[in-house]
Amino acid sequence: MNDAAKPTGETITLNVHGAIGEIAPEAWDICAGDINPTLSHVFLNALEESGSVTARSGWAPQHLAFTDCSGRLVGAVPMYLKGHSYGEYVFDWGWADAYERTGRRYYPKLLCAVPFTPVPGPRLLIAPGAPAETQSHLIAGMVELTRQRQISSLHVNFPETADFEAFGEAGFLPRIGQQFHWTNDGYRDFDDYLAALNSRKRKAVKKERREALANGSIEIEVLTGSDLNERVWDAFYKLYLATSDRKWGSAYLNRRFFRLIGERMPENVVLVMARHGADYIAGAFNILGRETIYGRNWGAYHEYRFLHFECCYYRAIEFAIDHGLKRVEAGAQGPHKLQRGYLPVPTYSAHWIPDPGFRRAVASFLAREREMVAQKIEHLAEFSPFRHED
């Protein structure tokens, strides 16, 4: 139990939960909404129940819950006590090093985010009809928990714009990042989309798609719902491990996680699997939201020419067009996405740092970084592959 002072001098009480399983799924999902499934109770619980997210892995759940006088959950925040900065996609290693060189401990820190998931979305989860002050109560509770635990810092990664602004008004330091997203401009089909590209880019995409399939020797399967059987999951997980081991040395997600979401939210999963003969050779794991398909993980045994682009980018675009989705968000990094129709957009994070001296240093760094990111986005936009209308 943690008390956070209201501006009027009254107190509010919020509960901190060491597992999302302590919170009723229906109550949590009313607050989270149904647009972004990465915030759903079933997704977050699968991370914890599978053992991918635990105190041992450096992700100790500390979910904040605010109930009204009747006991109804009206607000919640997905939070974790972090023992490191892995799996966040917003990098603060330099901050940690600077803080610890002064003889103080940067870790553990508090993080509000979806583990291993650089997907923008709400971070202050508020039930419809909740009191107007619920948002400010949740933010006050987050700050108070940081103070009570004497934690070095509190971070909010990939909040949607409204939440980002609310954190800024509450005194959090603003940080801007950048991703590449594809937007559906009402295209009838993939060819209609291609017609919007300039001639050179259109020819390049067509060539890449042909060569990705190796003259017909590679076939692509787009699987969701009941198509997601254990054989498919076993195949994808081996591909995921192969790529994780090759590129990063370890995998964040375990096989049980994929089994749980395959069982409990199959309609929100889209696997794009590449097959050579009877064998799967590569695959892309996507989460399907109400308006957006979110690209998450890629796996392959070897490097196959253009196959990554086909599975992760072009098939996602086709799926979005076919299902009337508004966007494809293909995850972090990747300037190569630009020439394939994914345009630069800003992403956000917000940071609460109690120590005045450290706060000033980070604020100065962020001011310079924001200017550089804004210039980068403006510069990248000049290389849009879309035709310019006269």
Beta strands 109-112 and 154-157 are: parallel
Instruction: Using the structure block, give the residue that is written with the tokens 């035709």.
Output: 387
Backbone angles phi, psi at 282, to 5 degrees: -165, 160
Q: Provide mean pLDDT across the span 133-152.
A: 96
Task: Please report the pLDDT score of residue 361 as a whole number.
Answer: 97
Q: Is residue 9 pLDDT above 70, yes or no?
A: no
Q: Give the whole-angstrom CA distance, residue 31 versus residue 51.
A: 25
Task: Please report the pLDDT score of residue 325 as a whole number.
Answer: 98
Taking domain 2-177+346-381, whether its CATH number is 3.40.630.30 is answered by: yes
Instruction: Using the structure block, give the residue that is written with the tokens 């020797």.
Output: 217
- Give the 3-state secondary structure of residue 57: coil
Q: Give the whole-angstrom CA distance, residue 44 versus residue 219.
A: 33
Task: Please report the pLDDT score of residue 332 as a whole number.
Answer: 79
Q: Which residues contact 76 (CB under 8 A, 6 or more apart)?
A: 23, 28, 31, 32, 63, 64, 65, 66, 125, 138
Q: Is residue 333 pLDDT above 90, yes or no?
A: no
Q: Is residue 1 pLDDT above 60, yes or no?
A: no
pLDDT digits (tens, 9 = 90+) for 252-300: 999 999 999 999 999 999 999 999 999 999 999 999 999 999 999 999 9
Q: Which residues contact 48 (CB under 8 A, 6 or more apart)?
A: 19, 20, 21, 54, 61
Q: Give the whole-angstrom CA distance, residue 350 versus residue 108.
A: 17
Q: Provide mean pLDDT across the span 55-63.
A: 97
Mean pLDDT (the chain, rounded): 94
Taking domain 185-325, whether its CATH number is 3.40.630.30 is answered by: yes
Q: Provide mean pLDDT across the span 32-47.
A: 98
Task: Please report the pLDDT score of residue 246 as a whole number.
Answer: 67
Task: Please report the pLDDT score of residue 248 as a whole number.
Answer: 60
Q: Is residue 7 pLDDT above 60, yes or no?
A: no
pLDDT digits (tens, 9 = 90+) for 88-123: 999 999 999 999 999 999 999 999 999 999 999 999
Q: Is residue 83 pLDDT above 70, yes or no?
A: yes
pLDDT digits (tens, 9 = 90+) for 160-200: 999 999 999 999 999 999 999 999 999 999 999 999 999 99
Task: Please report the pLDDT score of residue 3 as a whole number.
Answer: 42
Q: Is residue 357 pLDDT above 70, yes or no?
A: yes
Q: From the CB of residue 72, how many other CB atoms can be counted at a distance below 10 Å?
A: 13
Instruction: Count helices and strands (H / E) in the chain.
Output: 12, 16
Q: Do the beta carbons of residue 20 and residue 29 sit within 8 Å? A: no
Q: Give the whole-angstrom CA distance, residue 171 versus residue 167.
A: 7
pTM, rounded to two decimals? 0.94
**Count of alpha carbons within 13 Å of 373, Cβ hemisphere only?**
17
Q: Give the whole-angstrom CA distance, residue 369 versus residue 360.
A: 14
The ranges of the chain annotated as CATH 3.40.630.30 are: 2-177+346-381, 185-325
Task: Please report the pLDDT score of residue 36 as a whole number.
Answer: 97
Backbone angles phi, psi at 308, to 5 degrees: -60, -45
- The share of the chain scoring above pLDDT 70, in percent, equals 95
Task: Please report the pLDDT score of residue 350 as a whole number.
Answer: 98
pLDDT digits (tens, 9 = 90+) for 300-314: 999 899 999 999 999
Q: Please list the alpha-helical segments (H only) found in 312-355.
A: 315-322
| Angle at the Cα of 67 from the Cα atoms of 36 and 155, rounded to 5 degrees | 55
